[in-house]
Structure 1
């Protein structure tokens, strides 16, 4: 069984002089790579968009380069297990940290599904829009147009990525999946040709640190979590396990599909935690 919730995150400790040196060096490199490549991506997109429309044959490779470089800059281990699917559809995973964005983009070309408010966030919003994030509004009046947007992106071959838990956790458990977004895949044009691939994302804390080191939950703000990771003298690792894809047409409704995806993700996380080693 996955451990019970571990209460509120521990208060951040004071940083030493060397901690701040690591923050500055890693933070500077990460910023230069991220926003330098963002500028390149936007330039390439000026040519790519009028020629290819929704399809993006070049820019996703720039995104992947940034995400892979992030782990090199941080000095953090990264490994994947299993095979990313090639069929049309979406990827769903447990949500532990802001690092998930780098983790899931590093191996597989995906496009995130996010709440519309993220588009207005400084810096992060720019990155999200530039990399093709699908923004979801909670206004029922926009349900039909958003459904059409889902269909057009999936039919264009985009692999959509969303976190059905609806929030991030301490990394030691999987919250119940919300079935709402699964409904879009039962649309007549999609049901018979789309799949959902469950993915377990498992973080291993640096030696001597709490098991929840990379978790971003409770009252932890983004800046505090970011600084903690940048300042770490030694880093841990993350393992990504790709489960067998689920064919949407094999399920009666969004709830049964959601439960099957949740079961696969939870099983992967439990296997890692119980064995305390990467899933093979």
Structure 2
């Protein structure tokens, strides 16, 4: 493993995060769902080059969701900012990442170019379909290829094509899991393109659920089995107002705050919120991005640091707190862009 790798290759969540389903379908219904999914995938394979046509993509994506018993609620219109408002560029669409269903859902709303990990390209059937859709693959172990990826994304955006990125870099069991890795936002900066934050969340009946998650090292079959067996499940898509900026750090922070809203993270990880209270401001509080632990604390006096889902740092002088999500950046440009 590359020690400078900025992406979390080891997921934090595992299948135990899924919790419980509040309602299940009968074995007969589950069987019909598997059959419908197989029929849809076979149809997508048979579509050949037509799979690159937006209307075909949208129809197949919706058929997959229908096949496994999922309904989309919320924003189902175009996610890209209109060209007359974007200056002719495409839109960098960024969303939280919970499940393999996220990609299908976004394509059902609006077909777009997707940035995915290299491993997806090697998956049977799915990899071939992804390539036909024009998916861009990033090899997360080859950090020095990152500038080339950013250049490619910049060209796509400048040409008017929208690109979907999941800046959490891996799946989490809840909306607010994990920090946002900022390299992809540089493409929006370079292309002068707007960023559209999107929240993807799952519900069973009126209650939020983690049952649809693709969690940790579990295989696709296990996740599919949970989804196909659940009743009354919906996926909610919330498109937030577009944002612009010239600093990828600020864009990533703004996008994450909008996407998470008031939701609290289920796990500690890059981007978890920590409270810092210092003697310099007589009880003043500041928020920092924290990992599972605060990695560097520089203070003018002794500090009491307690870590967990959040860190509470009390000092008698101003504290300079740096976290896993904001660690010192390596000097070489590819790693620097990746980390921050």
Q: Which has the larger Rg? A: 2
Query: Do Structure 1 and Structure 2 share a fold, with TM-score over 0.5?
Result: yes
The structural deviation recorded for 1:141 is 4.2
Given that 1:23 and 1:231 are in contact with CA atoms closer than 8 Å, whether structure 2 keeps it comes out as yes
Do residues 179 (structure 1) and 187 (structure 2) align?
A: no
Is 1:8 matched with 2:33? no
After superposition, the Cα gap between the structure-2 partners of 1:7 and 1:151, relative to the gap in structure 1 and judged at 3 Å, is closer
| 1:97 and 2:96 matched | no
TM-score (norm 1): 0.76
For 1:264 and 1:210, the matched residues in 2 are separated by 18
Q: Pairwise CA RMSD of aligned residues?
A: 2.9
* Higher relative helix content: 1
Distance in 2 between the 1:269 and 1:105 partners?
25
Residue 39 of structure 2 is aligned to residue 32 of structure 1:
yes
Maintained 8 Å contact 1:79/1:240? yes
Structure 2 runs not aligned, ≥5 long: 1-12, 265-340
> Closer, same or farther in 2 for the Cα pair 1:227/1:184, shift >3 Å?
same
Deviation at 1:161, TM superposition (A): 0.4
Asked if 2 retains the 8 angstrom alpha-carbon contact of 1:8 and 1:218, the reply is: no
Structure 1: which 5+ residue stretches go unaligned? 46-55, 271-280
Larger mean CA deviation between 21-30 and 79-88 belongs to 79-88
Answer 1 or 2: higher relative contact order, Cα 8 Å, separation at least 6.
Answer: 1
Q: Match for residue 197 of structure 1? A: 196
Which residues in structure 2 correspond to 1:1-280 (within 5 Å)? 8-9=16-17, 18-19=26-27, 21-40=28-47, 42-44=48-50, 59-81=53-75, 84=79, 85-86=81-82, 87=86, 88-138=90-140, 139-187=142-190, 190-191=191-192, 194-206=193-205, 211-232=209-230, 234-247=231-244, 250-251=245-246, 253-267=247-261
Match of 2:291 in 1: none
**Count of paired positions:** 241
Q: Which moved more, 1:257-266 or 1:147-156?
A: 147-156
Which of the two has greater strand per residue? 2
